[in-house]
Structure 1
Amino acid sequence: MKRLLTVFIVLAALLVGAAFALLAWQRSVGDAAPASTTPVSLERGGYLAAIGNCAGCHTARGGSRLAGGRPIPTPFGTAFSTNLTSDATGLAGWNADDFWRAIHLGVSRDGRLLLPAHPITNTTRITREDADALHAWLQAQPAVAAPRRAHELRWPMNSALGAQVAVAAWRALHFRPGIYQPEPAQDAVWNRGAYLTQGLAHCSACHSGRNVLGGDDGPADFRGGLLAGLGWVAPSLYDPAEAGVQRWSDATLQRWLRDGHADGHTAQGPMAEVVLGSTAAMNDADLAAMSRYLRDLPQQSVARPEPARPDARRRERGAGLYREHCAACHGAQGEGRRDDSGALAYPALAGSRLVTQASAANLIRVIERGGFAPATPGHPRPYGMPPFAGLLDAEELAALTSYLRGAFGHAGGDVDAVEVLRLRAAAARR
């Protein structure tokens, strides 16, 4: 018995020692970069903050801009964003080196490893020059007192030490620090687009294919997947049948990124937030660069899940619901409806990728929560669609969704009430 206890104590000591060694290694890993010698431009820093949509995550609903507190759903519970203003509860006292370590290495000023809810695999790609400009702009913003809100995470992330060890292990598996290195076979425009997409705009933070630990295949992973706690799917940027834009024209994609609306394509859900808070602020050169890079991504079809068993009665019910609630705006044949100027006011559902995507999640979210495109300077008064969550139950929503995915020449596959309830549950985990 005494020998067994001794073995247990030795093993526990080894595990604790290994955990602390892992933690120390992760706090020190990474390449250094000297402060930029280029004069810092606050205007440039503000532009970079807009592209990176810093306010999108670091502003709570109804809260002060950049003061943090917004809930960020993760596979391990809910994290809350931090205060980025110059207050003592935010970045007061942080110098450019402190900020660089946070944005490039994911290490806070006090030595803590930042939770990967911060898209560190993307922000590590940012150059020191851009990081210094971003830091200077944030320091120039009005100070707002907003103490950090405690995260609501599950074991082992619900204790300070457990969270740090778990993050250290996650980083060992999934994080490799490094500034974006231009591809020598590509020109400057393509490389600028890659830098923006993989780095500051952190597109793969949503559009990657994540494993059970929330890890991905790096900042150029655009396979798409379900967004934890939101119930939306970030569709694949590789597949033209999902969100791939390889077959779009440059002009269409640039307008869509800037306005959220182009040639019948409309940004919805989380992507509407991205357009409003990020890509709408891009200058023409950066829009052209991002368009060039995204249109050059390799084409690869995503796997389609097994649909629900076809049910003629379910689709017939869905057809009735469509005539009752949808046809007046979207047309009897899903052709959409134009306003007095001839512009497409209500989008066509016939041929819509939102309708026929491998997952019906986004279609269900739009029907339940409504469809709201971003109001941008180029499209200031978009038409909206009211939510139907309080009007349609799970069976009715499954019927309407199934009808849309099978009507107008579509072959999207049926959805049953069980799938509707599963997606609702995924949206409720926050």
Structure 2
Amino acid sequence: MRRTTRRTLAALTACATALFVAACTGQSSGGGDDGSDAGKDVTITFWHGWSQDSEVKAIDANIAAFEKLHPNIHVKSVPNIADDKLEQALRGGGRDAPDVVSSFTTDNVGKFCAAGVWADLAPFLKKDNIDPVATFPAAMRQYSQFEGNQCALPLLSDSYGLFYNKTAFAAAGITSPPKTLSEFEAAARKLTIPEGDSFKQLGFMPNYHGYETTAMHYLGQFGADYFGADGKSNVATDPRVAAMFAWQKDLIAKLGGFDKLEKYRTTFGEEFSAKNPFHTGQVAMSFDGEWRTASLAEDPVSFEWATAPFPVPDDQADTYGRGYQTGTIVGIAKSSQKQTAAWQLVKYLATDTDAVVSFANAIHNVPSTNAALNSPKLSADPNFKTFIDIAKNPHSGTTPSSINGGAYQISLRNFGYDYEAGKVDLAAGLAATAKEIDEAIVQAK
């Protein structure tokens, strides 16, 4: 019930060069008229990454509903397709390649669009009078296109927010979740209970290895811009980037210091298990995604908990309610000779309100269209509604697409590891990171 996007950055960088080299070898332009619009029987292949029984059952249910609406289009669904296998198929093309493809990794969009291995969906959208601006929230539009090429559409999403231990809050005399970072710091310190050279309870784990406490997720609360209009990295010139790194490091110092926090972090259980440190009460607040609500329902904890948007900088208090967004993308293989039928499936899965809502309800993810986010059929208890509202917030953002995938995020992540450990100066380190990002993009082009 969670995405795999959070653990794929290194793999993306490793395969980026191979994808671009292969893409230049030449592939079919696709777009063949398969006759499906005229009622001709056609079978299309759909590759996706969902693998859990409940997930596969949910996507199969949507496919069955689609086939009922389009009795001449038959869908061969292939689950549990990893991104590396998907990329190999897109490079190779041929009769065994998929027609419709889905990826959990939004960082792939820039590579797929630039390499021309996914079809541009703009003509299909225009033909069917679908306005992406009116249909999809801004952050989701941003992560599903690259330099004006709408080669993918969002298919469910993830929102990131704050989980907090209401029982611990009450014991500490905290009556409501913090909205600004100064309030958050005060709460984190008040909720921290030292025990010898460790902690009985930590208010919050700010370190970058603390599961979802990544630099990119934090930067979503600051509204930072990663690239300028000239396409060059902004990480050394946008003051919000430096402000985020300085804030995180300062919080580390106030909660006990990097070494002490890292030692405590080694006692944490697996992130996606009942031994998650928020589940066990080792941390009183956690930065996490909407899927955690389902995990807490499946593995009940011994305390009351609730959700809220993650706090924002004090000088941006009017943006409270925002959050980082990512999700699944779906598109059409450029090599497909059945793009007419393939588009009908993509359109149904990504834009049909009932289809999006039923899928979101089944696998506990956030819907990816404005209509679905506002549908009365959407199952949204108060704790899940937090993430619905984050997705609807106009200040919510994402990490933009890049020609070399998530390489720029890896550069920024690695700087964060060094900076929080005291190994590098903030200004000089960000300048070096920006240079590294720009050089990598030039090389990819």
Q: Same-fold call, TM > 0.5? A: no
Larger-gyration structure (1/2): 1
How would you bin the TM-score normalised by the shorter chain? Answer: under 0.3
Q: What is the TM-score with the length of structure 1 in the denominator?
A: 0.24
Larger relative contact order (CA 8 Å, sep ≥ 6): 2
Normalized against structure 2, the TM-score is what? Answer: 0.23
Greater per-residue strand proportion: 2
